[in-house]
Amino acid sequence: MIKLIITGGTIDKRYNELNGELEFPETHIPEMLKQARCTAGIECQTLMLKDSLEMTMADREAIKQACSISNTKQIIITHGTDTMVETAKYLAHSQQDKIIVLVGAMIPYKINHSDALFNLGCAVTAVQLLTEGIYIAMNGKVFDWDQVNKNKQQGVFEN
């Protein structure tokens, strides 16, 4: 069984036509897994729906606790890309016996040409194949938590 912890980020944002803003009315992750015809055993838990720029140390601690109390060794965390590396680093200093893959998107799932579904699929596969540790799955690549940066000019993650 894979535990999928939902924390928000662009992957889950939706465009509000009335005010022109991106917001979090609800998570789209179960819909995405259904659309992808995913047959892996996945249990979703919505922990929060936040933009990662608004994430606090208390939020990171809540993510860490959710990972710690999970009975499964395979965990995926949806997360905003702006501070994904910081959360991965926070988790790396406390987790030792699980496989944790953070994933997000540069374009919301509900917007055309989104990378969300592809990135989520990569994370689902990665968490089943990796050894214990903290990873980031973005842009068709899997990175060790301490060997990745977000290139904000190009909108990709790289070593």
User: From first to last of its 159 residues, what are the pLDDT tens digits of the chain?
Assistant: 999 999 999 998 877 777 777 777 789 999 999 999 999 999 999 999 999 999 999 999 999 999 999 999 999 999 999 999 999 999 999 867 999 999 999 999 988 899 999 999 999 999 999 999 999 999 999 999 999 989 888 888 898
Q: What is the DSSP letter of 1?
A: -
Cα 36 vs. chain centroid, distance in angstroms?
Answer: 16
All domains of the chain in start order, with CATH: 2-158 (3.40.50.1170)
Amino acid at site 33? L
- Is residue 124 within 8 Å of residue 42, measured between CB atoms? yes
Q: What is the largest CA-CA distance in the chain?
A: 46
- Is residue 121 within 8 Å of residue 155, measured between CB atoms? no
Q: Residue 100: its pLDDT value, please?
A: 97
Give 137's strand partners: 103, 142
Structure tokens at 158: 């790289």
Structure tokens at 46: 């919505």
Q: Residue 22: its pLDDT value, please?
A: 73
Q: Residue 122: its pLDDT value, please?
A: 96
